Chains A and B, each alone.
Chain A
């Protein structure tokens, strides 16, 4: 089990890294659709045609048949603001709306087309960079009937965005057709003493991720006998599989000491027997000193 853990955790890390790239959810519930997240990395496309202000959900085949999943296209705008300025359109999200047979609606295949900055916007952005101020974005909270309840706002310090180009990263948290939150920021680190750095290219590198809720792991169900037997008493009492040592160490240690003592004595005895004379002369060595001392005294 211990050996199995290490590969598993490394696999998990690997899988997470993988999820950052292709961003597929690790713990997928079978209740959700398989491809509910889609990743699109688009270079900022300068769209020639005017931006669609109000999303127009064009449902092609809504009432086709009730038991089949139906698809339709949906669009919603991204708006941005520089510091305290008003919001103005900045890009368009396009996605497919899947209506499953039990009524749930989910967005898939999200694509994003970002408008590049105009000259005026570039100036405004430069000001933001100088002042270390916030670049703010917003999206509607309901993609079918914008703006829904309210706009979802997110913001980032402008200095976090510029690398070579302007790198941005969206994580859009969805609940059917509602947007809960947008996590907006740079795809990498943005460490605290933020340096003033102008982008080399005034184009956007956008990464978008759609996220739906994970389903919590179920509490493991155990059969009743296991529950009754172990969880109520087993936890408080010592674990049953204590080794022989753990149970009887207090008896074994003194026993060991006695044995060791006996062994050393036994070791000593043969030595003495080797050193001295065999048989009845074992008492002699003890008698010798006294005898010797008396002899010395007598001298």
Chain B
């Protein structure tokens, strides 16, 4: 009976397993969350009124945010959709933040203090044009003017109602500028017609009527933009970029005036560019590296105001009192920045000159926004918001950096991890002794908490203690493998090392190889790889990572690689490659210094071996005939398999270059299928159990091959949004392909479904997510692959006699006998990213991380409607048509990772635990235990309580023993 009761208890416990959740007091214990906004595009200060000083920013991650000007914290933030880029921001009525986005189509107003959306107006236009947001400072009509898709609008700032609309596409005017006249009643719209005509329109600001229309011929045409200098003067460069054209349209006529640039600089051979600034009375001309400021005199003549040699960034115009206009100028000079503010009328003197020491790792200055305030001595003070090359945002005031935001981390491209150094002997004892009292106090508090004796303050203290536990932020390797360095590559070409314990930046490095140079115009980082992971015979070496990038976004541009030490954060070496980078293959071989061999495949399908050492070459020569690789051509929907053949003939360093030849190809018919997703298994995944025991004590062998590729293709018509096609015209075909032989192991069509497809491939199963047009719902499907060729190994007699084929090597050239099982489920959520938990040995059950989280158990293809008793025992859940999401199972609990782009899972040393890192605009890190931490005690386990309990028990045993001895003695005596 006892045994039966035990079994029942077990069953009860097992039914509890799916509920994976966190207690309230565990928040922040092992997770951290960082909020970012991305690279700032535009900033508007709001400092006039008393109260909180703030700056409203719009960023390249499509975020509109309100930042605290004192500390740089986010008051509020809205992440618009990925295709909803912000074109302009401004403040209207002193209480609304206005944003114009999606190419001038959507106008929104947000409440300034709390960020609530007040109204939203969509502007429908047909043409193409710049999008301009104009919020007049004068005039009491509370109008906002917007230009988008060739239409000019006036919108009421109070409720977003469109007051009038004027389609400018009929005039075939390529609108460059929209300016409001001084009195506020007339809008000047100017632009280029064709390429050789300049046109201006005067539009009534009240009702949108065209008042006046003027054109003038510009022989030869313009190059670049037309920049307004004053209310009725615009400047542009002619097509040769040697002559300035100033355009004046005081009344009815347009007066063009040509001024050769050589008038300003004498003999200039360089190409002049007008810097796109919003200044009045002055504009900046960039010739080679120097910047020339040209002022418009009151007579309408142009004259040089000043010249700066160094690379300079100029802020927009800032209107001070009594009609004074100030401009902020920031220059960069060997580790320092010079910030100066000048008045337009008095260019020779500066209002402010400051020198600020700047970290080298932030690179050059990208943008500057200035704002003024009244100092205590009633003079003007200035603060500057500076955007750096690494996308960080810095506020400078009184010659100091007030705060700095690392907003480069909002655009993470790739993530890898690095182990921390092993603890050295001789850690200072004093430190331990110092904290002994603290330790005791902490444990006392914990005991109080456990025994429910703690007061409210004590509880707060306990929580603080747990959160601030210094244990987790140490810079040495821990026993469980929880402490690691997350190496993160951002779009700005900066590398960060984040500590997994608290998310702090351990070091950061702006990669010199990913910065703009003569040879490399627009370098972009592509991927990060673990280059050297020392463990066996190279313990003294520091681990390093390989960064692969290329010079421009075109596919045949030359590659760049760089090696960085992950302990010191120093760039060890960098190479400008002589070939392009199409694909990087991490080989499963390392050399004697534990450097991993990498093959970089170029667009000509040649493999280039790194590191370029004779030893590496020797290793690869041995294995060359067994190296197969595949390429996916999404353009033409062809997948090809390749094998390496021989050394290259043409190149100088042909010892490290290998040509390849095609082995197989899978060609999808272009009229019916287009590749939309390909997924493979993770290289570092470990599979513990090769077989799955099913309910009737039968065994199914998993078909585990590292060379499987999941491909999803969709009808080429279905490329737009969901609902753009009929279900009859949409289909989705999924394939599982062996990448060595090109065999299609499984092929299945989902009729009436469409992408985007997000998929995860792990062990022998694939889970993918798509949209079912017939059911109007998202669906998730699972495919499991089982090996039939080993199915007859179940006979015990055969196993004893050794007649099994379990130990025989598996070759892809054998014809696979596989069985696939598949099932689809409805899923009520859309998915941005998908990942699966990875553990060190692959014993722990897998959890699927779906932007949120699910349990792989629900995606079992063997789930049936009414599971048998045996299946219930095994844990097969009854079949339902949709997958539930239990609110408690969100890994991020109450937090949100905005703009999620990827989820990275990293196995810890402890088998039960996986580290999860999610990145998007925000960063989030936590560790999860899919099957609970069965192999360790929880962190808040009170060892002291255990100890005290044991001591108390032992003492009690002794006391009772003595007492009983005494009693027995007394009894014996009393018997006399």
Query: CB of B884 within 8 A of chain A?
Result: yes
- B811 touches which of A6, A191, A231, A253 (Cβ 8 Å): A191
Known: A149-B636, A191-B814, A216-B822. 9 other contacts (CB 8 A): A9-B696, A149-B669, A153-B662, A189-B789, A219-B881, A222-B881, A231-B884, A236-B886, A253-B5
Query: CB of A185 within 8 A of chain B?
Result: yes
Q: How far is the CA of A173 from the CA of B625 in the complex (A)?
A: 28
Chain B contacts of A297 at CB under 8 A? Answer: 976
Q: Nearest Cβ distance between residue B668 and chain A, in whole angstroms?
A: 6
Query: CB of B877 within 8 A of chain A?
Result: yes
Query: CB of B733 within 8 A of chain A?
Result: yes
Q: Nearest Cβ distance between residue B868 and chain A, in whole angstroms?
A: 3
Chain B contacts of A193 at CB under 8 A? Answer: 809
Q: How far is the CA of A182 from the CA of B189 in the complex (A)?
A: 63
Interface range on chain B: under 10, 10 to 19, 20 to 34, or 35 or more?
35 or more
Is A246 in contact with B11, judged by CB distance below 8 angstroms? yes
Chain B contacts of A84 at CB under 8 A? Answer: 645, 661
A-B CB pair tally, cutoff 8 Å: 201
Q: Closest residue to B809 on the A side, CB-wise? A: A192
The 8 closest A-B pairs by CB, nearest first: A1-B868, A2-B868, A178-B669, A219-B824, A189-B814, A190-B813, A192-B809, A2-B870
Q: Closest residue to A239 on the B side, CB-wise? A: B15
Q: How far is the CA of A220 from the CA of B865 in the complex (A)?
A: 9
- A192 touches which of B18, B749, B811, B858 (Cβ 8 Å): B811
- B867 touches which of A1, A169, A189 (Cβ 8 Å): A1
Q: Nearest Cβ distance between residue B596 and chain A, in whole angstroms?
A: 24
Interface 9-residue window, one of B448-456, B605-613, B739-747, B836-844: B739-747
- B663 touches which of A136, A150, A230 (Cβ 8 Å): A136
Query: CB of A187 within 8 A of chain B?
Result: yes
Query: CB of B815 within 8 A of chain A?
Result: yes
Q: Nearest Cβ distance between residue B805 and chain A, in whole angstroms?
A: 9
Is A219 in contact with B669, judged by CB distance below 8 angstroms? no
Query: CB of B748 within 8 A of chain A?
Result: yes
Chain A contacts of B865 at CB under 8 A? Answer: 220
Query: CB of B698 within 8 A of chain A?
Result: yes
Question: Could you give, for residues 284-298 of chain A, a 1 whenever the CB lies within 8 Å of some chain B CB and a 0 otherwise?
Answer: 000000100100010
Query: CB of B823 within 8 A of chain A?
Result: yes
Is B748 in contact with A185, judged by CB distance below 8 angstroms? no
Chain B contacts of A153 at CB under 8 A? Answer: 640, 662-665
Main secondary structure on A side of the interface with B: mixed
Query: CB of B19 within 8 A of chain A?
Result: yes
Q: Nearest Cβ distance between residue A236 and chain B, in whole angstroms?
A: 5
Query: CB of B772 within 8 A of chain A?
Result: yes
Interface range on chain A: under 10, 10 to 19, 20 to 34, or 35 or more?
35 or more
Question: Could you pull out 5 A-B pairs where Cβ atoms are within 8 angstroms?
Answer: A180-B668, A185-B813, A185-B814, A191-B814, A219-B825
Q: How far is the CA of A176 from the CA of B864 in the complex (A)?
A: 34
Q: Nearest Cβ distance between residue B636 and chain A, in whole angstroms?
A: 7
Interface 9-residue window, one of A33-41, A107-115, A154-162: A154-162
Q: Nearest Cβ distance between residue A107 and chain B, in whole angstroms?
A: 14
Q: How far is the CA of A171 from the CA of B818 in the complex (A)?
A: 14
Chain A contacts of B265 at CB under 8 A? Answer: none
Chain A contacts of B963 at CB under 8 A? Answer: none
Query: CB of B302 within 8 A of chain A?
Result: no
Query: CB of A5 within 8 A of chain B?
Result: yes
8 Å CB interface, A223-269 against B: 226-227, 230-232, 235-236, 238-239, 245-246, 249, 253, 256
Query: CB of A11 within 8 A of chain B?
Result: no
Chain B contacts of A219 at CB under 8 A? Answer: 772, 775, 779, 823-826, 881
Chain B contacts of A230 at CB under 8 A? Answer: 880
Query: CB of A95 within 8 A of chain B?
Result: no
Chain B contacts of A187 at CB under 8 A? Answer: 815
- A188 touches which of B698, B741, B815, B858 (Cβ 8 Å): B815
Is A175 in contact with B673, judged by CB distance below 8 angstroms? yes
Q: How far is the CA of A220 from the CA of B864 in the complex (A)?
A: 10
Q: How far is the CA of A73 from the CA of B779 in the complex (A)?
A: 41
Chain A contacts of B734 at CB under 8 A? Answer: 216
Known: A2-B871, A188-B815. A220 touches B866 (CB 8 A): no
Q: How far is the CA of A173 from the CA of B665 in the complex (A)?
A: 12
Known: A2-B870, A190-B813. A154 touches B819 (CB 8 A): no
Q: Nearest Cβ distance between residue B623 and chain A, in whole angstroms?
A: 14
Query: CB of B946 within 8 A of chain A?
Result: no
Q: How far is the CA of A22 from the CA of B192 in the complex (A)?
A: 72
Q: How far is the CA of A254 from the CA of B814 in the complex (A)?
A: 61
Q: Closest residue to A232 on the B side, CB-wise? A: B884
Q: Nearest Cβ distance between residue B700 and chain A, in whole angstroms?
A: 9
Query: CB of B182 within 8 A of chain A?
Result: no
Q: How far is the CA of A215 from the CA of B734 in the complex (A)?
A: 10
Known: A153-B664, A187-B815, A222-B880. A246 touches B12 (CB 8 A): yes
Chain A contacts of B18 at CB under 8 A? Answer: 235-236
Question: Could you give, for residues 19-38 of chain A, a 1 whenever the CB lies within 8 Å of some chain B CB and a 0 otherwise?
Answer: 01000000000000000000
Is B747 in contact with A214, judged by CB distance below 8 angstroms? yes
Query: CB of A129 within 8 A of chain B?
Result: no
Is B869 in contact with A2, judged by CB distance below 8 angstroms? yes
8 Å CB interface, B803-860 against A: 808-811, 813-815, 817, 819, 822-826, 858
Q: How far is the CA of A207 from the CA of B326 in the complex (A)?
A: 84
Chain A contacts of B640 at CB under 8 A? Answer: 153
Q: Closest residue to A20 on the B side, CB-wise? A: B817
Chain A contacts of B662 at CB under 8 A? Answer: 153
Chain A contacts of B687 at CB under 8 A? Answer: none
Q: Nearest Cβ distance between residue B897 and chain A, in whole angstroms?
A: 24
Query: CB of A151 within 8 A of chain B?
Result: yes
